[in-house]
Amino acid sequence: MTNLNKLIKGIGVFLLYILVPMLLPSITSNSTNDLLINIGIMFLLLLLFIFIYKDDIIRDIKAFNKHFFKNVGKSLVYSAALIVGLLIVSIILVEVFHVTYNNSSLIDSLLDKNIFLLIIYVFVISLFTEQIVFRKVFKDILQNKYFFIIFSSLVYAFCQIGYNISSTNDLFTLIPFAFAGIILSVSYEKTGNIITPCVVYLFYDLFILLNSI
């Protein structure tokens, strides 16, 4: 695939990822099932992304399955780094900068409402969509590994909570997300397999879920 093709695909996927959630409130504002409709639309978006990158994803799944336990083991190491690192970052933010950070609140709130929606949204839609957009798209276009890791992580952090930034104090909350982005991008850069960051994040989400129950 030429660089131009990758660029056009990547920008298209990135724009859809940003613009669709922006338009969702106007679509679902009068609906009583807004949560269900939101999740349904995001699921369709994920299917579209998978379709766009289907060849690469199938290749990566096969490669991951070939050395399944070894790859799961590697993913566990990255997950541990993510969990421990985020814990340290959170402690520093709370104790030193007095900034509250909680990445499990979405799980907590969904856990109260609908366990099925929680599984679909957190463990399928959000997990795969984010890895395709912030890892696959950026890695395909950016050849310099350091630039890819730093830039994709910063964009990931901004896209996670950029909507909510309204003061300089809120900028501190970018740090945990940027850190998570770095670990996930490094795991993809090192293994060259998009399934690895997905599994890393899956372990992290499981850890948060078990903590929440």
Partner 1 sequence: MKKEFSITLISLLLIVIAGLITHIINTDKEIGINNKKMLSNNTLINISKTISKEEIIYEVVDKSKNLTYSWTFLNNEDFNKSLKDNMEIDLDLRLQLMTDIKDKNIENLVSNNDKLIISFNHHGELPTKAKIKLDVKNKYKNGEKLYLYYYNEELDRIEYIQNDIIVNNGKVEFEITHCSNYLLTASIVQDAVNNPKNINIIIIVMIVVIIVLIGATLFQNKK
Interface with partner 1 by CB under 8 A: which residues?
3-4, 6-7, 10-11, 14-15, 18, 22, 94, 98-100, 102, 105-106, 108-109, 112, 138, 141-144, 147, 151, 155, 158-159, 161-167, 169-170, 173
Q: Which is nearer to partner 1, 75 or 185 (CB)?
A: 185
Q: Which is nearer to partner 1, 116 or 147 (CB)?
A: 147
The whole-angstrom separation of Cα 13 and Cα 20 is: 11
Q: Which is nearer to partner 1, 152 or 191 (CB)?
A: 152
**Interacting residues of 176 by C-beta distance below 8 A, sequence separation 6+:** 86, 89, 90, 93, 101, 103
CB of 199 to partner 1, least distance (A): 25
Q: What is the CA radius of gyration of the chain?
A: 17
The whole-angstrom separation of Cα 85 and Cα 175 is: 11
CB of 54 to partner 1, least distance (A): 22
CB of 167 to partner 1, least distance (A): 6
CB of 42 to partner 1, least distance (A): 16
Contact 185, 148 (CB under 8 A): yes
**Comparing C-alpha atoms, which of 156, 60, 168 is closest to residue 103?**
156
Q: What is the dihedral of CA 39, 44, 46, 48, to 10 degrees?
A: -170
Q: Which is nearer to partner 1, 65 or 169 (CB)?
A: 169
The whole-angstrom separation of Cα 30 and Cα 40 is: 16
The whole-angstrom separation of Cα 213 and Cα 14 is: 34
CB of 78 to partner 1, least distance (A): 24
CB of 76 to partner 1, least distance (A): 27
In Å, how far from its chain's centre is CA 28? 23
**Comparing C-alpha atoms, which of 56, 60, 51, 92 is closest to residue 187?**
60
The whole-angstrom separation of Cα 22 and Cα 35 is: 15
Q: Which is nearer to partner 1, 65 or 100 (CB)?
A: 100
